[in-house]
Amino acid sequence: MTILVTGAAGFLGTRLIEALLAPPGAASAATRIVAADITPPTVDDPRIVTRTGNVVDPSFIDSIVASDTAVVFHLAAVLSGQSEAEFDVGMKTNVDATRALLEACARLAKPTRFVFSSSIAVFGGPLPEVVPDDMALRPQSSYGTAKAIGELMVADYSRRGWIDGVSCRLPTVAIRPGRPNSAMSSFVSGIVREPLAGIDAVCPVPLDIRMWITSPGVVTRNLLHAGQMPTGDLNGRRSFNLPGLTVTPAQMLDSLERLAGPAVRARVRQQVDDRMMRVVSTWPGAFDTKHAFAAGFTADAGIDALIASYMREAGIQARTV
């Protein structure tokens, strides 16, 4: 069998492939993993076949979907900042390429498990304190709109029996290693990652704004689960608000101080950026995730555990764990 991962060179794609390869991961010795990305994926394993190309190109899509493709993790996407700045690039990558990939999967003999990485950006406008599972989708960005279209396509292709889809609405994934990226949520990782690296950081939003976040480890496990979970009794409810933590920047900085000390926390100063503030204040801060828990998805233990796991991975000694 073949497992296809698009966006395989990205932050989550790389982790997902490592998790698929690690015992007792989903990839047995007989499994082939096609790792597709516009940037050459770097994971090295005999089970990996790398494919470098643009998912907007239909011939590339045809080259990555094999007749025995049993599971697709569709992670390739243009993120929120770039989608807002470059409407066409966002729509071509996030909508047109998703449709082309669904079409290629629909031509296969057996319905492929199609895991679509959606986002909480599908929600917007007036929202209750806790967003219920059946909240109407009212995205307030081109990125969120594209993800909402993707979810609807996944649901309809599944209803027709052409694929077996699961859409995962990912919380903001933090703490993301490396450098800031083009996502509007990049600061959420930055206010922990940069001070831990001895770099001054700016929090561009008020310290009491609520954010919905998850760790890279938990979200990777949840994506793997989406690739294997039973879908027979979903009754068409194929979109899941993945579990997350409701935290404010202030709570993240308190945790940072507990784990790394006051001098590290002091490297973060607040300077509100009105443009960022307008966008971030539309993000929902808390979700009812009953549907996801009932389907077997899991949550982070808390903000200290989330930041401690980043510090462990980065080789930074915590004061307490």
Q: Looking at the annotation, which residues are catalytic?
A: 143
- Residue nearest ligand NAD, CB atom distance: 10
- Dist CA 63 CA 51 (whole Å): 8
Determine the interface stretch with ligand NAD among 34-42, 262-270, 279-287, 313-321 (rule: CB under 6 A).
34-42
What are the DSSP calls for 103-117, one per residue? Answer: HHHHTSSSPEEEEEE
Is residue 220 within the footprint of ligand NAD (CB under 6 A)? no
- Least CB distance to ligand NAD at residue 91 (A): 12
Cα–Cα dist 115/224, whole Å: 9
Cβ(203)–Cβ(187) under 8 Å?
yes
Can you tell me which of 25, 32, 49, 54 binds ligand NAD, judged by CB under 6 A? 54
What sections of 22-128 are H helices per DSSP?
A: 58-64, 80-85, 87-91, 97-106
Q: Which stretch binds ligand NAD (CB under 6 A): 52-60, 129-137, 246-254, 264-272?
A: 52-60
Least distance in Å: CB of 320 to ligand NAD? 27
Binding residue (CB under 6 A) for ligand NAD from 71, 79, 163, 166: 79
Q: What is the distance between the alpha carbons of residues 132 and 241, in angstroms, rounded to a whole number?
A: 9
- Return the beta strands (E) in the chain as ranges: 2-6, 32-37, 48-52, 69-74, 112-119, 163-170, 172-173, 201-203, 211-214, 239-241, 245-247, 268-270
Rule CB under 6 A: is residue 191 a binding residue for ligand NAD? Answer: no
- Asked if 207 is part of the footprint of ligand NAD (rule: CB under 6 A), the reply reads no
Q: If 0-12 CB within 10 Å is exposed, 13-18 middle and 19+ buried, where does residue 59 land?
A: exposed
The interface region with ligand NAD, picked from 23-31, 33-41, 98-106, 227-235 by CB under 6 A, is 33-41
How many residues of this chain bind ligand NAD (CB under 6 A)?
A: 24
CA-based nearest residue to 180, from 191, 172, 169:
191
SS3 308: helix
Minimum distance of ligand NAD from residue 54's CB (angstroms) = 4
Contact status: 93 vs ligand NAD (CB under 6 A):
yes
Nearest to ligand NAD of 8, 259 (CB atom): 8
Region of 62-70, 71-79, 245-253, 265-273 interacting with ligand NAD (CB under 6 A): 71-79
Instruction: Report the residue from 1, 21, 38, 207 that binds ligand NAD according to the rule CB under 6 A.
Output: 38
**Cis previous bond, 24, omega within 30:** yes
Terminal C-alpha separation, the chain: 41
76 binds ligand NAD (CB under 6 A): yes
- 42 touches ligand NAD (CB under 6 A): no
Sign of the dihedral through C-alpha 109, 113, 117, 122: positive
In the three-class reduction of DSSP (H, G, I as helix; E, B as strand; rest coil), residue 319 is classed as coil
Work out which of 21, 49, 56, 250 binds ligand NAD, going by CB under 6 A.
56
Contact letters for ligand NAD, residues 161-190 (x by CB under 6 A): ---------x-xx-----------x-----
Q: Does 37 bind ligand NAD (CB under 6 A)?
A: yes
Which residue ranges make up the site for ligand NAD (CB under 6 A)? 7, 9-13, 37-39, 54-56, 75-79, 93, 117, 119, 170, 172-173, 185
